[in-house]
Amino acid sequence: MPASQSRARARDRNNVLNRAEFLSLNQPPKGVPEPRSSSRKASGPSVQPPAPGDGARERRQSQQLPEEDCMQLNPSFKGIAFNSLLAIDICMSKRLGVCAGRAASWASARSMVKLIGITGHGIPWIGGTILCLVKSSTLAGQEVLMNLLLALLLDIMTVAGVQKLIKRRGPFETSPSLLDYLTMDVYAFPAGHASRAAMVSKFFLSHLVLAVPLRVLLVLWAFCVGLSRVMIGRHHITDVISGFIIGYFQFRLVELVWMSSNTCQRLISAW
């Protein structure tokens, strides 16, 4: 027995881990609690590991949030130019909206300005064209009126489709009138009154023999209709300009598909 104890002491002395400089390796660091026994771990509340989908969702959110919140530090020249023109358009449209509300500077003239805009509305023009078509007794007059009716219907469908696609709001919080809802002229881009005024004026200038003063008045009427829509706050300046351009191309399209007198007579007889 003493021999075995002496051999154990000799073995401990020969173990390098029992030396003073290596004793810190065998002891736990200070401030660190000792691990609990397996029995305590079993009796304590079990912690469930996170589901694999939660970690993937958190990583996806951490990757998406910076992209959503970050600012574009190096925008392109086209983006800067477009945003600048858009800001100028909104600013100038608000300045010209002098009849937009009751507190506007020209609020007393709002009724008269709205009346000018109504002269370019689709409902009066379609109703008047149908009435003139019924009263007309000449083949040439019926041909011109039938093609004018086609141009008016094309204008309403084109403007309504583009407005539904773009869905641009006006510069002021003004609600459309009942007539605007009837012709589906609810949004701002493009201005339906301006496109209709440009198309009708170009149509009359091409197919009616008018004196020079009447031709000048017709062009001024189309310009005043577009300006009135900006003054009451329903459209931006670019909406009106785009409406003028669309109205001109609509006239060109009607000229390409011009219905002959025989075709117009067949359509009238079918009614």
Residues designated catalytic: 193, 235
Residue whose C-alpha is closest to residue 199's, from 233, 149, 160, 237: 149
8 A C-beta contact, residue 164 and residue 187: yes
Phi/psi at 135 (5° precision): -80, -20
Residue that is written with structure tokens 């912690």 in the block? 47
CA distance 228 to 248: 19
CA distance 149 to 127: 9
Count of H-run helices and E-run strands, the chain: 13, 0
Query: Can you give the C-alpha Rg of the chain in angstroms?
Result: 40
CA distance 201 to 221: 8
CA distance 232 to 96: 9
8 A C-beta contact, residue 142 and residue 133: yes
Tokens matching residue 80: 């800067």
8 A C-beta contact, residue 226 and residue 181: no
Residue that is written with structure tokens 């709001």 in the block? 169
Tell me the one-letter amino acid at 51: A
Tokens matching residue 101: 């509300």
Helix (H, G, I), strand (E, B) or coil at 60: helix
Count the Cβ atoms, other than its own, within 10 Å of residue 125. 22
